[in-house]
Each structure stands twice: as C-alpha cells, then as structure tokens.
Amino acid sequence: MKRFGSLFIVITIFTTVIAAQKTTASPTQAAVEFYRALKDKHYVEGFRRSVYRGAIEGLSSAELKELEPDFAATFSEIPEKIEARGEQITGDTAIVSLKFDGTEELQQVALIRVGGEWLVGDREAFEAVTAQGRNFFFNTRIAVNEDEAFKMLARMLGAEVIYYQKFDGRCAPLQELIRLGGVPRDIEGGQANGYRFTFALGEDQKSFFATATPIVYGKTGRLSFYADLSAVRAEDLKGQPASASSPVYQPK
C-alpha cells in the first residue's frame, strides 16, 4: 500500500504540472490578450498580463477611476484587429511580432517570464514597478505632466524670443502667440496636462512671465515652473507658484 501511495503522489504531481503547462499562456497569447483587454477598457485584466501587475492590483477603486482617463487616452488607438506574426523566445525573455490593423509596420512586443508566466514588458519596467508598487502609475503621470509643462513654457519662451527680436524688444500677449501658432490653444483655458498656467505681460510690453503650477500637488505634478525671457525655472514648492528666484530647470 505504501508503494501505491507514493505512486499516487507522483501521478498527482505530474498531472498538476501538465495542467499548469496547458493553462499558462504563451508569449503571443499574453501579448494579444494584453492589448485586447486595454482596447476594451478592461484595464485591471490587461495590466495583469504585464509587468505592471503590481501597480494596478494595489490601486483602490477611487484611484483606478482617477487614472482611467489617462489609460483611455493612451490606449484609445489600439485597433480591433491584431494579428500574431511570430514569436522568439530566449530563456526568460521573448519578442512577439504583432500586426496592428491600419499599419504595415510590425509591433515588436517584449515579454519576460516571471514565476513561470509570460508578462508583457521588460525587466527594467518590472523592477521599477516592484520598487514603486501602487505609486507607479501616479509617478509616471507626474513625470509626463511635468515634462509637458516644461515643454509648454519652453515653447512659449522660444516664441517670445522670436517676437522680441522681430518687433524691437516687445513681447507678445498670449493670444497673439496662440494666433501666430507659437503655442497651442491647449493653454488658452489656463489648464493643461494636470497644470494650471498663468501669463503676465509687462506694462511696457518689454517683458513677460508665465507660471505652471500642479492642479493637485503630488498627483498631477510636484514641480512648479516659471518662465521669462531668461529661462525656464522650476522647483518643488509643495504646490505654490515658482518665481524668478527659482533655479533654472535642467530636464533629465
């Protein structure tokens, strides 16, 4: 009986291993299901197929709802039709070639194997998510918003410098910069990409300054920005506006 009991255990283990192998998605299956879930706005399901699993699973319902507009904007252009065109596995990494409807160029999707499961993404992203956990998506949004705020003010500064040189040392009102195409209309309402913008022209029209301040400090941005004819400046002021005394910003 002891011999048969041992045999039963071996068979059970073997059957369990085979069943697990059958149910584990291949790199291609994981990649396709990842994109289809995000296309259908099933963000939790989609990110669970990726290295971002640790970031999405730690979010509360309120936090997930707050991030949904960002996800929707990012993944809205995923097409309905996605075709697999091949995969290459090297150890615990894989590359899957996908053909997205509407474009001839193949999308090369990287995956890594973690705990026997294929996840969309690379090792660097996986380690970043592991380190940041549920804060990962908010930190990413902050980094993107800060970069966009800097670019907006840098574009404004560049347009003002050109105007200043062309019109005998005078600066342009914001509406004029928009009309001339120097800055996008996004800034016209005073808010864009998680930042609140202000613009002021000197009385003699020989100077200007503009600020960009996080709408919600710590969630839409941390750095406050200031721009005039000399430079774009920035520092973490806990949501308060930056000034001409703030240090010159050096983008990473």
Helix (H, G, I), strand (E, B) or coil at 212: strand
Residue with structure tokens 């971002």? Answer: 52
Confidence of residue 252 (pLDDT cuts 50, 70, 90): confident
Per the document, the length of the chain is: 252
Long-range contacts formed by 244-247: CB under 8 A, 24+ apart: 244/209
Confidence of residue 140 (pLDDT cuts 50, 70, 90): very high
Q: Which whole number is the average pLDDT over 183-202? A: 93
pTM of the predicted model as reported, rounded to 2 decimal places: 0.77
Distance CA 122, CA 132 (A): 16
What b-and-e string marks burial along 83-101, b requiring 16 or more CB atoms within 10 Å of the CB? ebeebeeeeeebebbbbbe
Confidence of residue 2 (pLDDT cuts 50, 70, 90): very low
User: Left, alpha or beta for 235 (phi > 0: left; psi -120 to 50: alpha)?
Assistant: beta
pLDDT of residue 21 exceeding 50:
no
Query: What pLDDT digit, counting tens, does each position of 39-87 carry?
Result: 999 999 999 999 999 999 989 999 999 999 989 988 989 999 999 999 9
Sheet hosting strand 232-236, strand order edge to edge: 191-192, 195-201, 208-214, 223-227, 232-236
Share of the chain above pLDDT 70, in %: 91
Residue 34: closest CA among 94, 89, 92, 91? 94
- Do residues 234 and 242 touch, judged by C-beta distance below 8 A? yes
